[in-house]
Amino acid sequence: MSKLLDGEKLVLGTCYYPEHWPEDMWENDLRRMLENGIEVIRIAEFAWSKTEPVEGHFTFDFFDRFLDLCDWHGMKVIFGTPTATPPAWLTEKYPEVLNANIEGIPYRHGARRHYNYNSLVYQTLSARIVRVLAEHYAKRECIIGWQIDNELNCEREWFYSEADSAAFRIYLRDRYETLDKLNEAWGTVFWNQTYTAWDEIHVPRKTISNSTNPHEVLDYIRFISASARQFCKMQSDILKQYIKPGDFITTNGMFANLDNHQMTAESLDFYTYDSYPNFAYCLDAYRDDPRDLKDRRWSRNLTEVRSISKRFGIMEQQSGANGWNTRMEAPTPRPGQMTLWTMQSIAHGADYVSYFRWRTSTIGTEIYWHGILDYSGRENRRIAELRQIHAALAKMQELAGSRYEAKVGLVKDYDNMFDARVDKWHERIDWASETAIFSACQRTHTPLDYVYLDHTTPEEMAGYSVLFYPHPALMNAERAELLRRYVEQGGTLVLGCRSAYKDMNGRCVMDNLPGLLSDLTQADVTEYSFIAPDAGRVVIDWNGTELEASIFTDLVDAVGSGRLEGTYASDYYAGSGALVSNRVGDGTVYYYGTAFSEQAARVFLEKLGVAEPCKEAILVPESCELAIRTNGWNHYLFVLNYLNKPAAVQLRRTMVNLSTGEEISGRVEIPGYGTLVLKI
């Protein structure tokens, strides 16, 4: 077990940048952190020049002096590898390391993450700095773990440098072996795109219609993901040679075009997430829509992180206002919100929460991205709240090591996620259904997991009573078989429209739909379309219950053992089939011919008997989230109130309030932004 997330303790940390402050402030900062409940700091992730100010010349005294103090005071340290910010001497001498935009124009020095993963020079220089840092610092007592880079694929998740084209060709040769196979897979006969030499292939470039062969772009995204993973693995392999036994390797994120599950499995001990729920109140993005879940939507990201890494931490947790000098304006967390967001992370399973950042930077583009302290470092409301959080967690230490529990899952896979980025039709239904199912689960207090098909064992899948797999457009025989096994063993699988109409290259299949899922579902899609903008509200009658269709309609007949459960009740397709069920072994599969609206997702949860699993024990208002953690013998219910006004829950049996140790029942009021943690 590593020295964090060891199942023994909930721990608080912060991000600290010794290079931003005069040295004579360090000691006082460390002492003050420890006094206020901070036990771990993450450092150094942007400070390449502090150890390699000139190419090939290494100086260690800066971090040695800082780590001496950490050792002395007993502060634990996560050391970051600095590859997110290459030094100016590096990009100036080797401009080929720079990432470029789709027109091939390089991103220059001055921001961060402007490198590409595939430059051999960058790989060599990165490997060297990581090795040098690990060789020198890894034995330090205070260091407990390492963070690789910072937020892989953040800022830009698209790469268009020459090095990327060269590496893309190698990737494709590995995948297809011959150009004939590649031409076939990409359907290059369309618009005369046929390749006759590997060198003719490039990463996508600017085209006249801003569209590139979609099958190529799908492979290009897979390639970006593989490039980021390899870059991470290169660092991880080096670090593993030097770190002390029990020290861990992690990275923070989570960003697009990257198979984070695979990366974690091959390179990390666990994954960490950077949680900024205040983005929900950012001026650029703020929607004053009462149905919008706002900061509660961050629970969805936490659900995602949990699926990547059962054991996970928060490397950066919001503690102040958001803002760069060039973009983003979000207010400071209101009194109680810093606590609420910390509890949101813990409710979803994080046992380590580290705040971004200790003191707000007085320099650079992030001068408005506030930390716990303002520029002056004076005592303030947020550090007082940190003390309260620390005191509150002291009473909840038994939560450590327990895991979030859900019986409903939303199935995902990277091939379909990547395809949805390439294909607008796919993207629109995917996003709408995922949002609807998440929101329905939130509002009905039905804990939800994301279940990644390629990273979940059949035994783990069997633990879910209901799995939604909204729009698996891309399908292959193995996946169809996995789904069949899940249903045969008693699971309930709910598929939405547009299932299995593509192969794994994103080419449309010529079979009757839903293609490889036809046999399992006993459904036959005879016609399909977007809902016309002037069609009005399209509804489905499911044996007397009305469902609201969304975005798309597959007209679907039941065949063989299939049962027609619901029909459209609107427009020209009134009376056509919309929902087919089929019993397979001990379970049931549903083919639902549209995307999910929140209303429809709610009906499914209720009809399938999985909504609100705790309603016998507790009644919670819609405005609050209910999360469950369990260690196998105890269940811990978290009720999170995201509103700035009190909410009341009804306890229908006696439970222990973890904050006070008291047994309570009946009506309990939770203050605005408050969290109630109950043990049963």
Binding site for ligand GAL (CB under 6 A): 150-151, 154, 274, 316, 356, 366, 369
Burial state string for 537-551 with b = 16 or more CB within 10 A and e = fewer than 16: ebbbbbeeeebbbbb
423's tokens: 């294909």
The CB-of-320 to ligand GAL minimum distance in angstroms stands at 10
What's the one-letter identity of residue 185?
Answer: A
Catalytic residue among 52, 316, 434, 565: 316
316 among known catalytic residues:
yes
Q: Is 151 a catalytic residue?
A: yes
Closest CB to ligand GAL among residues 48, 404: 48
Q: Which is nearer to ligand GAL, 151 or 413 (CB)?
A: 151
Which residue is closest to ligand GAL by CB?
Answer: 369
User: At CA 377, angle to CA 371 and CA 380, rounded to 5?
Assistant: 75
Closer CB to ligand GAL, 276 or 542, in the complex:
276
- The tally of CA atoms less than 13 A away on the side-chain side of residue 272 is 30
Helices 162-176 and 214-242 meet at what angle, rounded to 10? 100
d(CA 68, CA 614) in angstroms, rounded, equals: 51
Query: At a CB cut-off of 8 Å and minimum separation 6, what does 436 contact?
Result: 550, 595, 596, 597, 598, 600, 601
The helix/strand/coil state of 69 is: helix
Coil, helix or strand for 486? helix
Given the complex with ligand GAL, which of 146 and 356 has the nearer CB atom? 356
Pairwise CA distance, residues 192 & 293, whole Å = 47
CB 301 within 8 A of CB 349: no
Query: Do 421 and 221 touch, CB atoms closer than 8 A?
Result: yes
279/452 with CB nearer ligand GAL: 279
Catalytic residue among 151, 304, 565, 598: 151
Shortest distance in whole angstroms from residue 150 CB to ligand GAL:
5
Torsional class of 56: left (φ above 0), alpha (ψ -120 to 50), beta (otherwise): left
User: What CA–CA distance (Å, rounded) separates 360 from 532?
Assistant: 50
Q: How far is the CB of 452 from ligand GAL (least distance, A)?
A: 23
Q: How far is the CB of 371 from ligand GAL (least distance, A)?
A: 10
Backbone angles phi, psi at 456, to 5 degrees: -130, 135
Nearer to ligand GAL, 271 or 638 (CB): 271
Q: Which is nearer to ligand GAL, 274 or 419 (CB)?
A: 274
DSSP string, 250-313: E-EE--SSS-HHHHHHHH-S-EEEEE-GGGGG-TTT----TT--GGGGHHHHHHHHHHH-SSEE
Q: What is the smallest separation between the CB atom of 143 and ligand GAL, expressed in angstroms?
A: 20
Residue 154 C-beta: closest distance to ligand GAL, Å? 6
CB 354 within 8 A of CB 12: yes
**Minimum separation from the CB atom of position 245 to ligand GAL (A):** 28
Tell me the H-state helices in 243-285: 260-267
Among all residues, which ones are annotated catalytic? 151, 316
